[in-house]
């Protein structure tokens, strides 16, 4: 979650769940949790990816865990080259057991854009064109590695109707793109009149943002947007039609979340609820033959905890764990992070992305990783089976590490991560 950085306006940080990190976490003492460090050695496995598949002693651990689970949750650090490689190997491992699709931390419209182009040879070029025309209109799938991952998983599944679900709100710069999509959806005369007016406003806002480089000027972040959308809503309801009404609702929900955040409220709470609602809707699209197939859910790691996450929310991961339990199924929660490396972050609006080096040892929100980093397998990835630690008591254990042990089943530590390639 860290690579979104802290250089944006506060609202952009919503997408990495960093926006509410207004207080430094409490850590007791200076002892590096020697007891947990010693115990980690007994649940440590080396992990490699060779020819696109898992290798090393950790490969058996993952394979056994995947076989027992229907829901495979990958809590990640965004915009890396290594984590899509890991998830591609997970898809290959899962495919022969039945893989229905992937749920991602993107909007439904962004997921539809990617899904409709999965089998096209120029899918990446089309993503570049989209982000050039509508900067900041999609999140995360504007990474080439993420785009390739989805295509790789679809191909591995052998399923021509492989599902790609977007569960999140619309991204900061998406208003112009979504309004154009609504205008292309044959709205009635009253809806078209309102949408034309909204499109002009969104275009002016985008021009202002491009001139200043500031996201705060965009339509979805403007203080007057809620009022404009409310004024247009009756016409959309009257003659917009199902497609226009669906996209318009996405725009309204996103505006509500951004407005809540801007006014000092807990926008991430609303966002977590939206993720759960969209998850339920997505699962209803499974065919009878897919009802028992596996689904991969890939989000920033704060979203996929069992129990309360670091924001003290019961987020998507907990919801899926509970749903699986009620249905007599199992969810596997995998946290995968880098010990150090280079983070890719969005730059100013309509400007190239940026990179910045980082170390988890120096990040107060990831200092819990110190024992795991110190105990890494040399010169390779390390997998920790946290399930074996869950019911033990450790003296002086960092409370954040305790939350990870309860919230995740497996922890994968990559010694050094490298930045993904963005479309813009």
pLDDT tens digits, 226-259: 999 999 999 999 999 999 999 999 999 999 999 9
Return the HEC string of 136-159: CCCCCCCEHHHHHHHHHHHHHHCC
Per-residue pLDDT band for 338 (boundaries 50, 70, 90) equals very high
Strand 163-166's sheet: what is its strand order? Answer: 53-55, 44-50, 381-385, 410-414, 331-338, 71-76, 294-300, 99-104, 163-166
As for how many domains the chain has, the answer is 2
Domain membership of residue 25 (yes or no) is yes
Domain membership of residue 319 (yes or no) is yes
Do residue 233 and residue 359 come from a single domain? no
SS3 label, residue 10: coil
pLDDT digits (tens, 9 = 90+) for 73-110: 999 999 999 999 999 999 999 999 999 999 999 999 99
Higher local confidence (pLDDT), 143 or 35 = 143
Do residue 146 and residue 273 come from a single domain? yes
Domain membership of residue 74 (yes or no) is yes
The residue out of 265, 294, 313 marking a domain boundary is 265
The residue out of 233, 265, 297 marking a domain boundary is 265
pLDDT digits (tens, 9 = 90+) for 198-225: 999 999 999 999 999 999 999 999 989 9
Do residue 159 and residue 11 come from a single domain? yes
CB 205 within 8 A of CB 219: yes
Do residue 98 and residue 48 come from a single domain? yes
CA–CA distances in Å: residue 164 to residues 267, 277, 285, 399: 25, 16, 11, 35
Domain membership of residue 292 (yes or no) is yes
CA distance 167 to 126: 22
How many alpha carbons lie under 13 Å from residue 154 in its C-beta half-sphere? Answer: 20
Domain membership of residue 289 (yes or no) is yes
pLDDT digits (tens, 9 = 90+) for 282-321: 999 999 999 999 999 999 999 999 999 999 999 999 999 9
Do residue 180 and residue 311 come from a single domain? no
Domain membership of residue 358 (yes or no) is yes
Do residue 105 and residue 118 come from a single domain? yes
CA distance 310 to 317: 13
Do residue 119 and residue 188 come from a single domain? no
Higher local confidence (pLDDT), 37 or 71 = 71
Q: What per-residue confidence (pLDDT) applies to 18?
A: 34
For the chain, the average pLDDT equals 91
CB 315 within 8 A of CB 73: no
Two structure tokens written together for 28: 């007791």
Per-residue pLDDT band for 263 (boundaries 50, 70, 90) equals confident
CA distance 283 to 141: 21
Q: Which domain holds residue 243?
A: 175-265
The residue out of 232, 265, 298 marking a domain boundary is 265
Domain membership of residue 420 (yes or no) is no
Q: What per-residue confidence (pLDDT) applies to 269?
A: 92
Q: What per-residue confidence (pLDDT) applies to 247?
A: 97
Burial of residue 118 (CB within 10 Å: 0-12, 13-18, 19+) is middle
Q: What per-residue confidence (pLDDT) applies to 2?
A: 59
Task: Say if residue 40's pLDDT is above 90.
Answer: yes
Do residue 251 and residue 375 come from a single domain? no
Domain membership of residue 324 (yes or no) is yes
Do residue 355 and residue 311 come from a single domain? yes
Residues with Cβ within 8 Å of 416's Cβ and at least 6 positions away in sequence, in order, are 338, 339, 340, 341
Per-residue pLDDT band for 19 (boundaries 50, 70, 90) equals very low
Do residue 245 and residue 291 come from a single domain? no
Do residue 163 and residue 277 come from a single domain? yes
Per-residue pLDDT band for 396 (boundaries 50, 70, 90) equals confident
Do residue 30 and residue 156 come from a single domain? yes
pLDDT digits (tens, 9 = 90+) for 344-359: 999 999 999 999 999 9
């Amino acid at each position: 979650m860290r690579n979104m950085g802290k250089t944006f306006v506060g609202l952009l940080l919503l997408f990495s769940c960093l926006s509410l990190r207004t207080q430094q976490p409490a850590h007791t003492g200076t002892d590096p949790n020697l007891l947990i460090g010693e115990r980690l050695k007994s649940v440590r496995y080396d992990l490699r990816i060779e020819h696109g598949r898992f290798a090393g002693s950790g490969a058996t651990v993952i394979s056994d865990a995947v076989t027992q689970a229907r829901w495979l949750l990958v809590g990640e650090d965004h915009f890396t080259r290594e984590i899509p490689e890991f998830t591609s190997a997970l898809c290959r491992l899962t495919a022969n057991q039945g893989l229905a699709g992937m749920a991602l931390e993107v909007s439904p419209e962004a997921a539809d854009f990617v899904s409709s182009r999965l089998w096209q040879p120029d899918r990446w070029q089309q993503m570049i064109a989209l982000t050039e025309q509508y900067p900041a209109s999609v999140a995360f799938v504007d990474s080439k590695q993420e785009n390739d991952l989805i295509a790789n998983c679809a191909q591995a599944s052998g399923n021509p109707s492989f599902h790609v679900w977007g569960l999140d709100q619309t991204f900061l710069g998406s208003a112009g793109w979504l309004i154009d999509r609504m205008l292309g959806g044959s709205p009635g005369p009253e809806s078209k009149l309102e949408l034309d007016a909204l499109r002009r406003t969104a275009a002016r806002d985008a021009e202002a943002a491009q001139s200043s480089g500031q996201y705060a000027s965009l339509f979805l972040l403007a203080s007057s947007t809620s009022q404009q959308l409310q004024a247009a809503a009756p016409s959309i309801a009257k003659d917009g039609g199902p497609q226009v009404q669906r996209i318009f609702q996405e725009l309204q929900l996103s505006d509500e979340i951004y407005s809540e955040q801007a006014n000092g409220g807990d926008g991430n709470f609303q966002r977590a609820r939206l993720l759960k609602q969209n998850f339920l809707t997505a699962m209803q699209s499974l065919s009878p033959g897919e009802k028992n197939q596996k689904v991969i859910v890939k989000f920033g790691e704060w979203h996929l905890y069992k129990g309360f996450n670091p924001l003290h929310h019961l987020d998507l991961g907990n919801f899926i764990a509970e749903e699986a339990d009620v249905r007599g199924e199992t969810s596997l929660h995998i946290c995968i992070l880098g010990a150090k490396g280079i983070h890719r972050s969005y730059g100013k609006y309509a400007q190239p992305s940026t990179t910045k080096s980082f170390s988890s040892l120096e990040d107060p929100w990831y200092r819990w990783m110190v024992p795991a980093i110190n105990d890494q397998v040399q010169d390779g990835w390390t997998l920790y089976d946290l399930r074996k630690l869950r019911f033990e008591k450790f003296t002086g254990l960092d409370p954040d590490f305790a939350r990870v042990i309860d919230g995740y089943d497996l922890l994968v530590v990559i010694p050094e991560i490298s930045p993904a390639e963005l479309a813009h």
